[in-house]
Amino acid sequence: MTDTSRFKPTIVSRAFTLIELVMVVAIIALLAAITIGVGASMADSGRMRATEGVLQVLDQSLADYIDAGGSIPPAIVAVTLEEDHGGKVRGDIVHYPAVDGVIDVVIPNTDPGAPERHYQINSIGLYLASLQKSSVVDELLSSVDESMVSFYDAPDDLQPRLLTIFDAWGNPIRYVHPKFDGIIEDSTGPADRRVLGDAGVALDLLDTSNSGPGYFTPESLPVDLSFVPFDGIAIRRNKILPVDQEEARQSGGLNYPVESDSDGGKCPAQRPYFYSAGPDGDPATIEDNVYTTIPEFVRPF
């Protein structure tokens, strides 16, 4: 009988070397990073499209409002309070300037390394409030995903609860009225403009003195205590460009870091426009802002 055992192949077991293990782990990590990156990119792309859709609906609502009434919405918005606020009661009417900017009141910040923040005016909430007596608002709200619309309490006691439309990143859409576009800061000339890293000085919109800008005359204001919530409080609308603290120090900036106010844009053809501050939530970084109507961008320095 022939012994066949000697013809069987010998199986040699060999462990992975350390280099091979490292290469396998590196390949897996690379594939995971690519997968995560593609997923994040697709998610951001979806948010971008959703936000663009909301902005297009808002643009159409503005066109419908102008067609119906022959003029753009008012710069001073009469707000019917949904709840007691600022010494007024539900159902009372108070007036707010439709500014895409900040109120000159600093939000307390316990983190010394975080940007100094001011109270952002809920401009899109004021736009919706200006439509309340128009049928346009019903068609507008029916065209927007309900998950992007809700009543919003701005994080302060200076503004009332307003119906608000958000972008797909969870930030309120911004509304720019031609009465308050461009840069708003207290300055008598180009030589007084702020330097890089400086927040700029807020401006009293009600100041009708010789030193004031004359945004409003007493005759143009509502009779019934016009800006009750903002009485004696100034407004600022600067495009604050992000710079590091050393750069700000060298350029003479005294008030940095500071959070951005707006995109600094001017309305095309004196028509309001809407925009989203994009994925980073910073309106001054206009590269990732979302627009359907492109404004003229104003250089802040």
- Give residue 210's pLDDT: 47
Could you give the dihedral angle defined by the CA atoms of residues 16, 21, 23 and 26, in that order, rounded to the nearest 10 degrees? 160
Cα gap 73→91, rounded to integer Å: 21
pLDDT digits (tens, 9 = 90+) for 171-197: 999 999 999 998 888 765 555 666 666
Residue 8 lies in a domain: no
Nearest to 291 by CA among 271, 272, 277: 277
**Cα 237 to chain centroid, rounded:** 12
Quick check: is 7 in a domain?
no
Q: Which 3-state string (H, E, C) describes the chain?
A: CCCCHHHCCCCCCCCCCHHHHHHHHHHHHHHHHHHHHHHHHHHHHHHHHHHHHHHHHHHHHHHHHHHHHCCCCCCEEEEECCCCECCECCCCEEEEECCCCEEEEEECCCCCCCCEEEEECCHHHHHHHHCCCCCHHHHHHHCCCHHHEEEECCCCCCCCCEEEEECCCCCECEEECHHHCCCECCCCCHHHCCCCCCCCCCECCCCCCCCCCCCCCHHHCCCCCCCHHHCCCCEEECCCCCCCHHHHHHCCCCCCCECCCCCCEECHHHCCEEEECCCCCCCCCHHHCEECCCCEECCCC
Instruction: Select the more confidently predicted residue: 39 or 35.
Output: 35
The pLDDT value given to residue 246: 56
Question: Which tokens sit at 69?
Answer: 């009434």
pLDDT of res. 30: 76
In a domain, 241, yes or no: yes
Q: What is the pLDDT of residue 222?
A: 64
Euclidean distance between CA atoms 164 and 152, whole angstroms: 6
Structural domain boundaries, residue 26: 17-297
What pLDDT score does 251 carry? 60
pLDDT recorded at residue 266? 94
**Mean per-residue pLDDT of the chain:** 78
Whether residue 9 is contained in a domain is answered as no
Contacts for 293 with CB less than 8 Å, ≥ 6 apart: 59, 268, 271, 273, 274
Residues 249-274 have pLDDT tens digits of 556 555 556 778 899 999 999 999 99
Quick one: how far is CA 171 from the chain centroid?
Answer: 6
Residue 77 in any domain: the answer is: yes
Range 272-289 average pLDDT: 92
CB count, 10 Å around CB of 23? 12
* Residues 261/239, Cβ–Cβ less than 8 Å: yes
How far is residue 220 CA from its own chain's centroid?
A: 29
pLDDT computed for residue 72 by the predictor: 94
Inside any domain, residue 4: no
Quote the tokens at residue 74: 């008012």
Give me the pLDDT at residue 237, please: 87
Q: How far apart are CA 71 and CA 56, in angstroms?
A: 19
| Contact yes or no for 99/121 (Cβ under 8 A) | yes
Residue 272: its pLDDT value, please?
97
> What's the number of domains the chain is made of?
1
Q: Which residues is 287 bridged to in the sheet?
A: none
- Judged against a pLDDT cut of 60, whether residue 233 lies above it is answered with yes
Between 221 and 124, the more confident residue is 124
